Chain A
């Protein structure tokens, strides 16, 4: 057989496979758009009747533990802990896990919150690096606060596990100490748990957004602003699409693959029985959720994971390519690691929706997508050089994919607006919508590149470096700079 025929055969096969792949993906997006719209509208309809203040004065309010690991957060730790201590909820505790900080985070907290070392009965249900000391405040105003000081575990997962071990209540919220939480976060996250008697709600999540350019005062969000810088703005659209359309859509059919590490509430008993966060994992949040689901299926627990479309947490997104690349490579590596670790679940009918929808989708359309895209680009280049391209068809297909991608992003923004009009001015919305036009050509190639880099790191088992991330900080001027470890 001639070389030309081989290339043609491979080309035909590839084109056919990509056609099926692409069509399925587009159909899934369309389905998610419809499902998420129904979920968003349903939430909005029901939520308008809910009186959350009932939780504030009731003896029936369930207790919640808020766990926030911290590593070298000295510049902002005091403000952030104050904001965690001032959430609108009557029965909760705040557990800050000082993960072996090398700066003066702990000393600052000891001074500010009148901390004293206590004999604390720490139950090590999840194995972690050793605990050095545990502090409580001698000031009654801070009686909700517990500080766990431990040896650095080189992973947020290890610190989170220590927090879970020290927690007292049946549900815990895991967040980052530098994230900005809405004051009503606990009330909103606990509601879905109290609203279901048929299923055990093992986790609830909410939308996360970029805090870059937002106005934050004393640790609380004062005004949400679309990020001024292009990279965080792309991430803003990506988050809206992922949370409001993706996770809300999946939640309708109880197929949520992940509850973000930035903010999520979990059933402690299930989380502990499933083994807690895996410190070896690069995507510990998704890995825990997959293990919790697996545990529930193995023990025939009728579980559900719920998502709410309102934004309760703002996090500072990477503003430079270097930091962004490190974050995305890590996430991709985490996904590859997770898929390898849980490969037996993929297309396993014994695991119901987890085995037949969640894992296959994540394998085929999340893990393989960057590879398929990269191969597509190479294929395009090859056929251009071989002069085998039909420019008319190629351009028409590209225009289709481009307009479809813009449609999905715009619909996500619309669903977000249906839920809550986050931005003050229409100009901000227009800016966001216009950014969607550049996403495919500017931002998407970055995702593909860093994802493949992450897979390469996974396959080569390269050591992950915990580089420092220069954060801009929040506030009107955004002038405050702080250095934290890039763990997200």
Chain B
């Protein structure tokens, strides 16, 4: 009906027989009209997009050049800072940034983007000046306005701007966003919370209902491990109490990074968790922490574990390298029919270094050809994995 009302009059006017055609042919004629119109719209969209893209590029290049010159002259080569005056007390001339051209919204946005770019490229005094300029020009108001937008994309942009410029945001604004259904907003809010929260940057770990995706973990890991002045808590708190498995798994990775031996008792408790993925992560963590006090316990639970956990136990024994489980590793290597178990047992034996040199040689001399190749594989420095 809609098609008919749009295209019907045209065809009735120019196709004398239109109304006498069967319905199928009428529909075909109408759809031909739709196809031709859509094709032409597509052509114009393609060309318009290219033209707009080109014009935008030219405009951006021009304005960025102008902004870069201003920032270089007034911020990077700020005379006071160069003469040793602290960036907080240095005179910051903002008049060049209040010219009429800056009244345009897109120019203000371009300035925000350039300031973010420069603040990521510089550190120390210059960064304080970039932040001061951002605040004195009241650009943060624009970013806060974006945070109040209905659009999630706009909220994300606002969050990224405030985070990049290190502007504090009240917990009450960010915390709800850390559990947003929108995956990107949630992720940016978590990053912002860690970077900007004055009180307890890891508080959202307590309330996180949505899972931390591996990509989120990658982003958070970088922020947590590179943000200066961040007070690192004992991650055992979430390992013990968090019902969110992804938070537990992520905390285990952080425990390894910060070498938090005080978290070992909490990790040991995870060995009885029903989720074998989390259990494997816990064993991996214990191995990397070289928590050899749990060695006996790991060996005692070995036979009841799924393959993933067994492999982690074998790796952990190699990392401990105490020499107390050489016989266990040797017997697993000889007994098991599973290739991965053999390989990991062999690697862990070899990781013991001088302690197992003779045993390994003896195994090579007496083992079956397949077993000998596994040992040689693990001993070869050219083979990494």
Contact = CB atoms under 8 A, between A and B. Distances in A.
Given A410-B43, A426-B47, A396 B382 contact: no
Interface of A: 19, 26, 45-46, 49, 51, 54-55, 57-63, 93, 116, 118-123, 125, 136-138, 143, 168-169, 191, 193-197, 392-393, 396-397, 399-400, 403-404, 406-407, 410-411, 413-414, 417-418, 421, 426, 429, 433
Contact of A58 (B22, B218, B343): B218
B156 A49 contact: yes
B39 A421 contact: no
Contact of A46 (B21, B184, B222): B184
A195 B213 contact: yes
Nearest to A433: B43
A414 B45 contact: yes
A302 B215 CA distance: 20
Nearest to A120: B377
A93 B382 CA distance: 13
A396 B380 contact: no
Given A119-B373, A121-B377, A194-B218, A413 B382 contact: no
Nearest to A409: B39
Contacts of B188: 49
Contacts of B253: 59-60
A123 B373 CA distance: 11
Given A137-B382, A399-B32, A406-B39, A60 B377 contact: no
Given A143-B382, A414-B46, A196 B213 contact: yes
Interface of B: 17, 21-22, 24-25, 28-29, 31-32, 35-36, 38-39, 42-43, 45-47, 49-50, 53, 153, 156, 160, 183-184, 188, 211, 213-215, 217-219, 221-222, 246, 253, 257, 339-340, 343, 372-374, 376-378, 380, 382-385
A119 B380 contact: yes
B384 A433 contact: no
Contact of A400 (B29, B374, B380): B29
B169 to A, nearest CB: 18
Contacts of A58: 218, 221-222
B213 A194 contact: yes
Contacts of A49: 156, 160, 184, 188
Nearest to A169: B385
Nearest to A399: B32
A397 B25 contact: yes
Main secondary structure of the interface of B (DSSP, over half): helix
B43 to A, nearest CB: 7
A64 to B, nearest CB: 12
B50 A429 contact: yes
A293 B373 CA distance: 35
Nearest to B153: A45
A463 to B, nearest CB: 36
19 contacts: A45-B153, A51-B219, A60-B221, A116-B382, A119-B376, A119-B380, A121-B377, A121-B378, A123-B340, A136-B380, A136-B382, A195-B214, A197-B213, A399-B32, A400-B35, A403-B32, A403-B35, A407-B42, A417-B49
Nearest to B160: A49
Given A120-B383, A143-B384, A54 B219 contact: yes
Nearest to B152: A45
Nearest to A191: B215
Given A54-B222, A121-B373, 13 more contacts: A49-B156, A60-B218, A121-B378, A122-B373, A123-B339, A123-B340, A136-B383, A193-B214, A194-B213, A197-B214, A400-B28, A407-B39, A433-B46
Given A400-B32, A406-B35, A417-B49, A411 B221 contact: no
Contacts of B50: 417, 421, 426, 429
Nearest to B346: A121
Contacts of B384: 93, 143
Contacts of B53: 421
Contacts of A62: 214
A59 B257 contact: yes
For the complex of A and B, the 9 pairs showing the least CB-CB separation, nearest first, are A168-B385, A121-B377, A194-B214, A119-B376, A403-B35, A400-B28, A194-B215, A407-B35, A136-B382
Contact of A60 (B17, B32, B47, B217): B217
A51 B46 CA distance: 27
Contacts of A121: 339, 343, 373-374, 376-378
B57 to A, nearest CB: 10
Contacts of B156: 49
Nearest to A406: B39
A200 to B, nearest CB: 12
Contacts of A120: 373, 377, 383
Contacts of B35: 400, 403-404, 406-407
Given A138-B382, A421-B50, A197 B246 contact: yes
Contacts of A400: 28-29, 31-32, 35
A202 B385 CA distance: 23
